[in-house]
Chain A
């Protein structure tokens, strides 16, 4: 039963309809979480005893940074599936993840810079954490550029997948950079093995925002995947019928 459903999901028209039905629900849930997270983070959470109100950038910065890594791993994993099993849908998911991933990486860098200026006294330092995150942005942009530069989309997806997989070495580098090298960037406070060293009233909105960003990624990836499927299957019957019905 599940396997049949999974098999059907691999068919482009089925996935297109399924994603179309899923998007409003996930999008609504994302919006609710976003509003809750912002309310708890900006209004309810107390200010930090060292950083005052400036620490509230955390509710954008940290979820963005988490998502920048998470999306990259998803993209590379789908790229690997696409290379090994030649699954079209995996190609589409991988390539549809890249723009959102690049956006979250950009946000992590920019909000980090806006946080660094008042706290460290500088917008930017070439240390391990910041440099490896910048490299991640270039990897995302490289995947997008490579994919759009090759005419044949199946070949383009293969090339982009290989680049994405090679770039995975950067992920542990980013994660452990604050432990392996001396850096201005602080170490992890949430994912430590003992209890997180952060107040619960700050931790809860942070986790809610992270969940909201994750849902945003899923919704946006599905939206882009639908476009990509339409574009790739433009000569097929189901797309022709869809376009016709749309302009009926």
Chain B
């Protein structure tokens, strides 16, 4: 097991490569998730606001 992680003395180069790759791929998966969440929240807020405005306008008329 220790030998596996040692990578014949190239541990730094090999595991840095795999580590950076993992980070970049995970970041790519998270970015669109967050973006979609933010967008849907924003749209829902806007929809609620316009519905309240319509209700108020209906009451006042």
Contact = CB atoms under 8 A, between A and B. Distances in A.
A172 interface: no
A145 to B, nearest CB: 16
Nearest to B11: A53
Interface residues of B, dominant DSSP: helix
A63 B40 CA distance: 35
Given A54-B7, A54-B10, A60-B17, A246 B44 contact: yes
A99 B31 contact: yes
Contacts of B32: 220, 223-224, 226-227
B6 to A, nearest CB: 8
Interface residues of B, number: 28
A240 B14 contact: no
B8 A223 contact: no
A150 interface: no
Nearest to B22: A60
Interface stretch (A69-77, A100-108, A132-140, A178-186): A100-108
Contacts, number: 90
Interface residues of A, dominant DSSP: helix
Contacts of B31: 99, 224
A103 B27 CA distance: 10
B2 interface: no
Contact of B47 (A61, A114, A223, A240): A240
Given A243-B40, A246-B40, A246-B44, A53 B28 contact: no
A220 B28 contact: yes
Given A115-B13, A240-B43, 12 more contacts: A54-B13, A61-B17, A99-B28, A107-B20, A111-B20, A114-B13, A114-B16, A216-B25, A223-B29, A230-B40, A240-B47, A247-B40
A198 interface: no
Interface string B1-42: 000100111100110111011001101110111011001110
A64 interface: yes
A239 B31 CA distance: 20
Contacts of A56: 7, 14
A220 B35 CA distance: 13
Given A216-B25, A223-B29, A227-B39, A247 B10 contact: no
Given A227-B32, A247-B44, A53 B14 contact: yes
